[in-house]
A and B are shown apart, each in its own frame.
Chain A
Amino acid sequence: MATLLEFKNVSKQYSKDTKALSDVNFAVNEGEFVSIIGPSGAGKSTLLRCINRMIEASSGEIIFDGANVTEFKIRELKRLRTRIGMIFQHYNLVNRLSVIENVLHGRLGYKSTLAGVLGIYNEEEKRQAYSILRILGLEDHIYKRCDQLSGGQKQRVGIARALVQDPKMLLCDEPIASLDPNASKIIMDHLRNISSSMGITVLINLHQVDVAIKYSDRIIGVNKGTVVYDGPPEEIKANELRSIYGIEAEELLVNQGANHAG
């Protein structure tokens, strides 16, 4: 399998004292489903955002599809972003607009400024948006305004917006952190399906260890800005969790076990 994404000695320093990432190295293969776990403030969001340069890495190389994205000029950066979809914890939809319009926003990166400003989309794009919404089970809500949707539905709109970009990779930043277990399951199932059936690489930040273990091909554990674990989910044991989350991890695993038992 070909490598799609590679971090080489990536660091990010916000100010003198706060180092969000230090010397991060890992690689993601095409079509892989990779979870990043770690305590809050470990640098998971920063790591994700360095890939599409919503945040600029301070040093190191990030190779995406054979090119170093940290050297991209503005035009190349724009093209990069169209090829990487992003999904957010708080969905980040324009609440006043309809579902379909929010989904079509995913096409803006392909458009001229004027077409984007006027919101002109071609038939092909609209059909594509519609079929994605149907796959995600939202065909009854196409013309609803987004503020009338539930959290889980909003997140599905967020996924649709990312998919309509025709991405090679999805970056998911805590996509289920604001959702109830039921909606979380639906979202995770969709993401897993997208990865296996469409062959889209998924890189996802999670704070639910059990979910990460259940869905991922591989898990990357991050603590204090460094990668402390990189391996298959089956090998995550108490020791590994301790190094990712710190001392209190035993309890976490006990809870995890309890959850599984329940």
Chain B
Amino acid sequence: MRPEESVSYDKSGYKEASADNITVKTKPFNKASFVIQMTLIALAALTLYGFSSFDYKDINIFEAISSSFSTVKTMFLEPHFNHFTFGEALMQVSITLGLAFLTTLFGAVIALFLGLLAARNLSSNTVSYIIKGLVAFIRAVPTVLWVLIFAVAAGLGSVAAVIGMTFHSVSYLVKAYSESFEELDKGVIEALRASGANWWQIAFQAVIPTSITYMISWTFMRFEINFAVSVAMGAAAGAGGIGYDMFMASAFYYDLREVGVITYLILAFAVALEIFAGRLKRKLKVTV
């Protein structure tokens, strides 16, 4: 915040600038800008301390960076399939997409009900707090840990991956859904309650129709995230799909070119999903 204030001092001499100076003077007493400054300072300090405390293990950073450049160059300029064909790769991508889809679907269905129960305007305070607390806990455990924990019971594979990832999707979507439910005008609920409608009818006839565009756009956003997470789980938790192939190409075969081609493939799908999501959002907004 400091630098721009000094700029405004430099500009003084103009009529408006004198008014600016008055607001600048009141700024130090403003709690919000104090907290902003403190946060920025703390982040900067922690960053500097972090850099000084890391164990770099005598890595030659310039060498590493220049070798990274050549790695990236080889990867992206000379991509090449080695251990499997393009068709097989597409098949693997669709497995990854399938994992993401199942996870999102299960997550959305469960989150719909939990979200209704977690919305303060539709539920009792106690139930809402319990669900929100539970969901915050689930979110605090990284996805990969959920998957690995389930893998002990179900074995590595799609079941552990989907269940583990579903946990996270549920917690993410419950938060998103319940917040959009809570934005519903309480007059609408009152109107339907006054005509004798019961809780479920209000939920499905007023709450969900009102929030549906938000829900779709949050759910699709989660699908995008789940695609990335599925890739990562394939690599780190043996969930199968394209992530596992990438992990093999990178850590097992040391095949740069294949990593390159897989990266392209993932990137293509991710960008396609992003473009589709953008379209979807724009379309929903138009009809709103």
The answer to whether B188 touches A94 (Cβ under 8 A) is yes
A117 CB contacts on chain B under 8 angstroms = 200-201, 203-205
Of the four ranges (under 10, 10 to 19, 20 to 34, 35 or more), the interface on chain A belongs to 35 or more
Check B195 for interface membership: any CB of A closer than 8 A.
Answer: yes
Smallest beta-carbon distance A51→chain B, Å = 10
When C-beta atoms are compared, the residue in chain B nearest to A110 turns out to be B196
B194:A52 contact, CB within 8 angstroms: yes
Once the chains bind, are B195 and A86 in contact (CB under 8 Å)?
A: yes
A92 touches B197 (CB 8 A): no
B188 engages A93 (CB within 8 Å):
yes
Q: Which of A82, A92, A95, A113 contacts B191 (CB 8 A)?
A: A92
**Which of A82, A95, A147 is the one whose CB lies under 8 Å from B195?**
A82
User: Is the CB–CB distance between B196 and A78 below 8 Å?
Assistant: yes
A105 touches B206 (CB 8 A): yes
Cβ-defined contact, B197 with A108, below 8 A: yes
The smallest C-beta distance from B187 to any residue of chain A, in angstroms, reads 4
Q: How many A-B residue pairs have CB under 8 A?
A: 89
Contacts of B210 in A (CB 8 A): 94-96
| Contact yes or no, A88 B190, CB < 8 A | yes
Q: Does A111 contact B (CB under 8 A)?
A: yes
Least Cβ distance of B119 to chain A in Å? 16
Which residues of chain B (202-222) have a CB below 8 Å from chain A? Answer: 202-206, 209-210, 212-213
Instruction: Tell me how far the C-beta of A72 lies from the nearest C-beta in chain B, rounded to whole angstroms.
Output: 12
Q: Is the interface of B mostly helix, strand, loop or mixed?
A: helix
Q: What residues of chain A lie closer than 8 Å to B188, measured between beta carbons?
A: 92-94
The CA-CA distance from A86 to B194 in the complex, in Å, is: 7
Question: By the criterion of a CB under 8 Å from any partner CB, how many residues of chain B are at the interface?
Answer: 24
Contact partner, B205, options A84, A108, A110, Cβ 8 Å: A108
CA of A44 to CA of B212, assembled, Å: 35
Residues from 50 to 95 in B contacting A, C-beta threshold 8 Å: none
The reply on A175 being an interface residue by CB < 8 A is no
Q: Please indicate the chain B residues that have their CB under 8 angstroms from the CB of A78 in the complex.
A: 196, 198
CA of A210 to CA of B188 in the docked complex: distance in angstroms?
29
B-side contacts of A110, CB under 8 Å: 196
Would A116 and B206 be within 8 Å (CB), given that A92-B188, A161-B191 are in contact? no
**Chain A residues closer than 8 Å to B200, beta-carbon distance:** 113, 116-117
A 73-89 binary contact with B (CB < 8 Å = 1; else 0): 00000111110111010
A107 nearest CB neighbor, chain B only: B195
CB of A97 closer than 8 Å to a CB of B: yes
Which interface residue of A85, A105, A161 has the most chain B CB atoms within 10 A?
A105
Taking Cβ atoms with an 8 Å cutoff, the residues of B that contact A are 185, 187-188, 190-198, 200-206, 209-210, 212-213, 288
Known: A82-B195, A162-B195. 8 other contacts (CB 8 A): A92-B188, A95-B210, A108-B198, A109-B197, A113-B200, A118-B204, A161-B191, A161-B195
21 pairs, A vs B, C-beta closer than 8 Å? A52-B194, A54-B190, A81-B193, A81-B194, A81-B196, A82-B195, A85-B195, A88-B187, A88-B191, A90-B185, A92-B187, A92-B191, A93-B191, A96-B288, A105-B192, A108-B201, A108-B205, A116-B201, A116-B205, A161-B191, A165-B195
